Amino acid sequence: MVWTALAILIVLLALAIPVSAGLGFLGLALSQIYSKLPLTLAIGEVSWATSNNFLLVAIPFFVLLGEVLLRSGMAERMYNALVLWMPWLPGGLMHSNIAACAMFAATSGSSVATAATIGTVAMGEIDKHGYSERLFLGTIAAGGTLGILIPPSINMIVYGVLTDSSIPKLYLAGIVPGLILAGLFSLTVLVFCIARPELGGKRTTATWDQRLRALPDLIPPLVIFLAVIGSIYAGWATATESAALGVIAALGVVAWNRRLTVRMLLHAFEGTMRTTAMIMAILIAAYFLNFVITSIGLTGQVNRFITDLGLTSTQLLVAVVIFYLILGCFMETLSMMVATVPIIAPIMVKAGFDPIWFGVLIVILMETAMITPPVGINLYVVQGLRKRGKIDDVIIGASPFVVTMIVMIVILSIWPMLALWLPQTAAN
């Protein structure tokens, strides 16, 4: 049964069928082959139950938040301000790319939106300052992945819904690992540019007067972050309510900067509807697939198979990490989460791992999948913005950051309190 499901999934992926359609078709196929009951009759109920979850209302809010920031030009001003503060480091603007991605991630729950937004602003700097194009592109692709680790995060909402975990705790758990990972990305750039100075391009300069005048452009992301995460931490709002507060704060900042126009709002609404429709299609199809595989006993088979292996908790963790690193090369991250977390998470919790900590680990593994070929979505986003050359350059440029993420996984496994300290502190 397991091998049949894998074979059908591999064929669907090879045919480049849209993810939501592929997951739905796999559910229908397994239902027809292995079920004596008409499981397809449950499609309507599964679709309604999935769409009716209050927590999922946060998704369109966070998507809209990112769209407003992108369309209003706020991200461009934020990047230009960071450019003035980072040129003294070897690698210059590549550190600005990572810092800008981290700051934008604190206001947007999407890695694709983060990579696309910062990439749009930064792409013209490659030739202007003589940077290594591959490494520069790699910083955008890798930095963009921070969008789902540093809260707010759409993927964390999905994980929380799938595992019935606290979204506020997941958000708090992602802050410290997110900042550490951003620091490790910058350290990776630093090592490469010290070893090979020609990769770092020409040094730029800025006066203290220029830097201080640019500081107000760094305030809006901080205001929005405090509105979203601060309201959760203070206990004033749920994850969904905080997402709405974030949108209100973003609109307020945009209006203050006189960028709030009907045209901008219409573009933001259109982008929000498109992205939300895609996410919900994947969620509904994946939930139906999970319903089918549970009904036909596939979940039980996987659980028994893993239990019979007699692995220690450490061996199980290593096996799960390797599983996701391999699967991430061939599957889109959101669908991978929805299809696998309901099976894997209970096994990990039973083995003694904290579900909040495991949620952060899963998100980092999803980040890794975003920059591993051949399906890494951020690689294609950056290449699409570049509009020249081959995607091989982006893949090569991002490859050192894949190693960095694996190092981060090891660090988080050795010191789980890096993720759990803030949630436990807030609980007390």
Mean predicted confidence (pLDDT) in 164-189: 92
User: In the predicted model, what is the mean pLDDT of the chain?
Assistant: 83
pLDDT band of 357, cuts 50, 70, 90: very high
Is 2 among the domain residues? no
Distance CA 177, CA 373 (A): 24
Cα 289 to Cα 1, 15, 32, 34, distances in angstroms: 14, 19, 12, 13
pLDDT of residue 37: 67
Any domain includes 6? no
Q: Can you tell me the distance from the alpha carbon of 273 to that of 189, in angstroms, rounded to the nearest whole number?
A: 36
Inform me whether the pLDDT recorded for 180 exceeds 90: yes
Residue 2 has pLDDT above 60, yes or no: no
Specify the higher pLDDT residue, 219 or 11.
219
State the average pLDDT over residues 229-244.
81
Mean pLDDT for the stretch of residues 254-267: 87
If you average pLDDT over residues 231-244, what whole number do you get? 81
Q: Can you tell me whether residue 378 is helix, strand or coil?
A: helix
Write the Ramachandran bin of 129: left for phi over 0, alpha for psi from -120 to 50, otherwise beta: alpha
Q: Report if residue 10 sits inside a domain.
A: no
Report the distance separating Cα 39 and Cα 266, nearest Å: 40
Cα–Cα dist 194/143, whole Å: 20
Task: pLDDT band for 364, please (50, 70, 90 cuts).
Answer: very high
- Please answer whether residues 337 and 158 qualify as being in contact, where contact means their C-beta atoms are separated by less than 8 angstroms: yes
Task: Please state whether the peptide bond connecting residue 400 to the residue before it is cis, i.e. omega within 30 degrees of 0.
Answer: no
The structure tokens 């799938």 sit at: 162
285 in a domain, yes or no? yes
Range of the domain at 225: 25-427
Give domain status of residue 54, yes or no.
yes
Q: Which residues of 390-421 are buried (b: 16+ CB within 10 A; e: fewer)?
A: ebebbbebbbbbbebbeebbeebeeebebbbe
Which range in 120-129, 155-164, 383-392 is most confidently predicted, on average pLDDT? Answer: 155-164
Is residue 8 domain-resident?
Answer: no
The reported pLDDT for the residue numbered 414 is 94
What integer pLDDT is reported at residue 188 of this predicted model?
A: 94
Q: Which residue has the higher pLDDT, 217 or 248?
A: 248
Tokens of 252: 């307020």
Lowest mean pLDDT among 46-60, 147-161, 310-324, 389-403: 46-60
> What are 388-418's pLDDT values in tens digits?
778 888 899 999 999 999 999 999 999 999 9
**pLDDT value of position 250:** 87
| pLDDT tens digits, 20-78 | 777 777 777 877 777 766 666 667 777 777 777 777 888 888 888 888 887 887 777 88
C-beta separation of 339 from 284 below 8 A: no
Q: What Å distances lie between residue 291 and 40, 178, 362, CA to CA?
A: 10, 33, 22
Burial of 18 (0-12, 13-18, 19+ CB in 10 A): middle
Among positive and negative, which fits the CA dihedral 359, 360, 364, 367? positive
Contact 47, 183 (CB under 8 A): no
More confident residue, 244 or 4: 244
Domain annotation covers residue 293: yes
CB 137 within 8 A of CB 392: no
Q: What is the mean pLDDT of residues 343-367?
A: 92
Look at 30 and 186; give whichever has higher pLDDT.
186
What is the spatial distance between Cα 383 and Cα 139, in angstroms, rounded to a whole number? Answer: 13
Query: Given a cut of 60, is residue 288 above it in pLDDT?
Result: yes
- Burial environment of residue 83 by CB neighbours within 10 A (0 to 12, 13 to 18, 19 or more): buried
Which has more pLDDT, 222 or 4? Answer: 222
Which region among 90-99, 303-312, 358-367 has the lowest average model confidence (pLDDT)?
A: 303-312
**Residue-wise pLDDT tens digits, 83-137:** 887 777 787 788 888 988 888 888 777 787 788 888 888 877 776 777 788 898 9
Give the number of domains in the chain. 1
Does pLDDT of 294 surpass 80? no
The rounded distance, in Å, linking the Cα atoms of 161 and 50 is 10
Both tokens assigned to 284: 């509904």
Model pLDDT, residue 178:
93
Is 34 a domain residue?
A: yes
Q: How far apart are CA 233 and CA 350, in angstroms?
A: 28
Inter-residue contact 104 to 69 (CB < 8 Å): yes
Torsional class of 388: left (φ above 0), alpha (ψ -120 to 50), beta (otherwise): beta
More confident residue, 298 or 221: 221
Whole-angstrom distance, CA of residue 66 vs CA of residue 114: 8
